[in-house]
Amino acid sequence: MDNQPQPLRLGLIGFGCVGQGFYDILQQQPGLGLAVTRIAVKSPDKPRTLPADHFTYHADELLNDPTLDVLVEVIDDAAEAFRLVSAALRQGRRVVTANKAMLARHLPELVQLEQNFGGALLYEAAVCGSIPVIRTLDGYFSHEPLRAVQGILNGSSNYVLTRMSEEGSDYAAALAEAQALGFAETDPALDMGAFDPRSKAVILAAHAYGVFLEADEVLNLGIEAVGAADVAYAAARGQKVKVVASVQRLPNGRVAALVTPQMLGPESPLFIVEHEFNGVVVEGEYAGPQFLGGRGAGGHPTGSAVLADVLALRRGLRYGYAKQATAPALQAAEELELDVYLRHPDVGVLREVLTWLELPATALRTDVHGVYATGPVPLLRLRQWRDELRTAGVFVARRGEVQAVEAVAEGQLAASTLA
């Protein structure tokens, strides 16, 4: 008599880069006891590596199939992903998703559905590909206070910045190379504008601090206007330009979150994170800084994170959100400031930007590449003028940590720097 347990039956929604990567991994490991028994895709005309009879073109058929043990959602449509995942959770289903934009927009509601209907939702693949950062925060650091979680969370923009640093090339050439290699999308706006890492920062904040953020409240500045002069400015100081997402506890106990280009020196573990790789530094109150690095994107690396979640669901794992009950307040933007670097090839535009950000004309500097500016800017101002800065083609990078500005008795302003 055969006492082997029946394979876990999986319904796969999406068969793009991640879906196919996950499927390939399963084919190479038949002993895992997992079987993709149904696959739903959107378009019947798109060429695929499997025969057409392997697919259905109606994802709701998988929702309505009670024989499926786990639903795996790996599509790039955030609205449709939310519809499918929320419906599955209302059925009390076990679900794995990799859709960071959907999670950033709807995480509180999804957690509530999970609790109300008894389902389970895991999403390690939504942040940093193969790096197990969510599981680390939710499990290992579930009860340790964290000083900060900071990381390079987008491989596309990191690849562009690496190539600019290595070759001295301009942004357009480095971006074209990234697109040719498949590291950047044909429309790179989500990656280069730092919208993608902003979504990931929102997800990390929920596990690091129990804080559920609105994505639009998180400042995101991208690298669309970065130039060779900016990379050279950093290099002359022994630094590199990196897009860094930060969720950090300030001295007053509140939390600040932002995603911006930052000038980093070799003292930072993120300094060595190059090309399409991601890296995260988790700084615990007692454990100190811990660095996690690895491939942040790609079919097989991200597919491996999907697989880890499926196997975790089989073991009964659920996220604990242990810090939700004691979540700190989000620091008001008007109480924070950044030490920033600004550059634009037109000095007239740069002077106008100084008025937007309330920087004096004395903030202007000159080097061999032209005129730039530096100085402290309130985070609120950067958020208010974010779209105008992007439209005007101004490159903005921070040169240090977030500072909390506190009023003192004389009515002056004093900045206390994050430890």
Domain regions of the chain by residue span = 8-122, 135-294, 333-417
Report the pLDDT value the prediction gives residue 408, as an integer from 0 to 100. Answer: 32
Mean pLDDT of the chain: 93
Contact 83, 62 (CB under 8 A): no
Q: Per residue in 189-230, pLDDT tens?
A: 999 999 999 999 999 999 999 999 999 999 999 999 999 999
In the annotation, is 200 catalytic?
Answer: yes
- In 3D space, the residue among 286, 378, 393 whose CA is nearest the CA of residue 333 turns out to be 378
Mean pLDDT, residues 379-391: 96
Q: Per residue in 279-328, pLDDT tens?
A: 999 999 999 999 999 998 889 999 999 999 999 999 999 999 999 999 99
Q: Per residue in 38-78, pLDDT tens?
A: 999 998 888 898 999 899 999 999 999 999 999 999 999 99
Contact 279, 273 (CB under 8 A): yes
- Dihedral sign (CA 178, 183, 185, 191): negative
Half-sphere exposure of 410 (CA within 13 A, CB side): 3
Report the pLDDT value the prediction gives residue 165, as an integer from 0 to 100. Answer: 96
Q: Which CATH superfamily is domain 8-122 in?
A: NAD(P)-binding Rossmann-like Domain (3.40.50.720)
- Is pLDDT at 407 greater than 50 in this prediction? no
Report the pLDDT value the prediction gives residue 406, as an integer from 0 to 100. Answer: 57
The CATH fold assigned to 333-417 is Alpha-Beta Plaits (3.30.70)
Contact 282, 290 (CB under 8 A): yes
SS3 sequence of 115-129: HHHCCEEECHHHCCC
- In 3D space, the residue among 260, 270, 219 whose CA is nearest the CA of residue 240 turns out to be 270
- Is pLDDT at 411 greater than 70 in this prediction? no
Task: Please name the residue ranges forming H helices in 1-77.
Answer: 17-28, 60-63
- d(CA 188, CA 161) in angstroms, rounded, equals 14
- Is pLDDT at 412 greater than 50 in this prediction? no
Active-site position among 42, 46, 100, 200: 200
Interacting residues of 98 by C-beta distance below 8 A, sequence separation 6+: 18, 73, 74, 123, 125, 126, 302, 305, 306
Tell me the one-letter amino acid at 200: K
Domain 8-122 and domain 135-294, same fold? Reply is: no
- Is pLDDT at 271 greater than 60 in this prediction? yes
The CATH fold assigned to 135-294 is Dihydrodipicolinate Reductase; domain 2 (3.30.360)
SS3 84: helix
